[in-house]
Copies of this chain bind each other. A is one copy, B any other.
Amino acid sequence: MQSLRDILNRIATGETSPEQALAFSAARIAQREPAIQAFASQPETLVPGQGPLAGIACGVKDIIDTADLPTGMGSSIYEGWRPRADAPIVMALKGAGATVAGKTHTTAFAFLDPAPTHNPHDPTASPGGSSAGSAAAVAAGMIPLAIGTQTGGSVIRPAAYCGVAAIKPSYALLPTIGVKPFSWSLDTLGLMAARADDLGLALAAITGRAALDAPAASLAGLRIGIHHQPYAGAPEPASAAALQRFEELAAQAGAALVPHAGSVALAEAYQAHGPLQDWEATQALAWEYAHRREALPPKLRAYLDAARATTPAQYDEARRLSRRGRDAARSFFAEVDVVVTYAAPGEAPDTMNSTGDSRFNRLWTLLGVPCLTVPLMRGPRGLPATVQIMAGFGRDEHVIAVAKALESHVSAGV
């Protein structure tokens, strides 16, 4: 994979130039794209911008508006669609000097019908979804940075399946304006890169918040809550082993591991994700459903057929449970420094007909808390398996700092 920090360091020392860094990404794309199919559209040339990310090629999920490239939403309904303006996240990327290297394949409207993208670790396995192209493009070493979105688990899950680092920051840290909505209470933009260290650098540059490029924490003495999400069912052996491996690494590094149970309020908030998303999705896609239903892919069509039965009363109750869950999350996260849990049920599904399952991601998306995953190990099928690190709302620099510490222990082979 291409590390964003490494590229910028080499540019800083004169070892390479922004133009050369972009040319390298372009060459990697030309080489790998035919097999991976990560990109829905690409510009003719990559021109460096001005700013801290000059020379960084970035993939942008194809539900995010761009004025210079089509925004197809993964659907024939928007084929060739050209928004008038770039979304603020795209302007922020360009403002930081990054170059949009292409729009990355998304499942249709970021739901469950698979994108054409292949998992770089196994061409017959799923790359996950919905931010499939973003995760695969980074994993295949085509680009050092990509933008995705998560409503259930659409950033963390494909990152885990493809073996890249990713952060779903606190809700609304990155504005979702100009991003095709699915469920506005949940939709969150996220970043993918080679390492947590790269994520911190990129997030700091994009948001103008230097503190997000946090130094690695010390694991020694850190209180880490280990949470199994019993309300979300049991994990597969690959993810159980990943959490076990994390615990070994953290314990060796001197962290205090605390078994961390949830609460009724959190379990109820987990259940509320369903009706919350159902009602909002029927609103968000009301025009497409009413006027282009036959053009919707089968999983999304069946989902909306069922979701429209959700009543305002069910939705209002789900919003109430969400608010209660967010209150409960304050004490849940206050008791430890970070919480660690499964990033996904297991390795990537061994089929391209499924994008996998977001059940270990949904609650945290609803709570709006920062989630970060880094590659940790391989599962029995040889595909990536890992955990995610979480903290209280707004403590994004904290998960970055802890993930960087974990990363150094993993790469040191501890």
Residues of A within 8 A of B (CB): 67, 77-78, 81, 84-86, 88, 91-92, 95, 172, 175-177, 181, 184-185, 207-209, 280, 283-284, 286-288, 290-291, 311-312
Contact across chains for B84 and A81 when beta carbons are under 8 A apart: yes
**In the complex the two chains form, what is the Cα distance from A176 to B77 in whole Å?**
22
Contact across chains for B177 and A209 when beta carbons are under 8 A apart: no
CB distance from A245 to the nearest CB of B (A): 36
By a CB distance below 8 angstroms, the chain B residues around A209 are 312
Contact across chains for A175 and B280 when beta carbons are under 8 A apart: yes
Given contacts A209-B312, A280-B175, contact A78 B88 (CB under 8 A): no
CB-based nearest B residue for A284 = B177
Contact across chains for A283 and B78 when beta carbons are under 8 A apart: no
Q: Please give the count of copies of this chain that the complex contains.
A: 2
Q: Would you list 29 pairs from A and B whose C-beta atoms are within 8 A, ordered by A residue?
A: A67-B287, A67-B291, A77-B84, A78-B84, A81-B84, A85-B287, A85-B288, A85-B291, A86-B286, A86-B287, A88-B283, A88-B284, A88-B286, A88-B287, A91-B283, A91-B286, A91-B287, A91-B290, A92-B283, A92-B286, A172-B184, A177-B181, A177-B184, A177-B283, A177-B284, A207-B312, A208-B311, A208-B312, A209-B312
By a CB distance below 8 angstroms, the chain B residues around A172 are 184-185
**In the complex the two chains form, what is the Cα distance from A95 to B67 in whole Å?**
31
Interface centre among A88, A181, A288 (most CB of B within 10 A): A88
Contact across chains for A175 and B288 when beta carbons are under 8 A apart: no
By a CB distance below 8 angstroms, the chain B residues around A312 are 207-209
By a CB distance below 8 angstroms, the chain B residues around A181 are 177
CB-based nearest B residue for A282 = B88
**In the complex the two chains form, what is the Cα distance from A98 to B88 in whole Å?**
33
Complex partner residue of A284 from B78, B175, B287, B311, CB under 8 angstroms = B175
CB distance from A280 to the nearest CB of B (A): 7
Contact across chains for B208 and A283 when beta carbons are under 8 A apart: no
CB distance from A279 to the nearest CB of B (A): 10
**In the complex the two chains form, what is the Cα distance from A78 to B181 in whole Å?**
21
CB distance from A108 to the nearest CB of B (A): 14
By a CB distance below 8 angstroms, the chain B residues around A77 are 84
By a CB distance below 8 angstroms, the chain B residues around A280 are 175
By a CB distance below 8 angstroms, the chain B residues around A185 are 172
By a CB distance below 8 angstroms, the chain B residues around A283 are 88, 91-92, 175, 177
**In the complex the two chains form, what is the Cα distance from A287 to B95 in whole Å?**
10
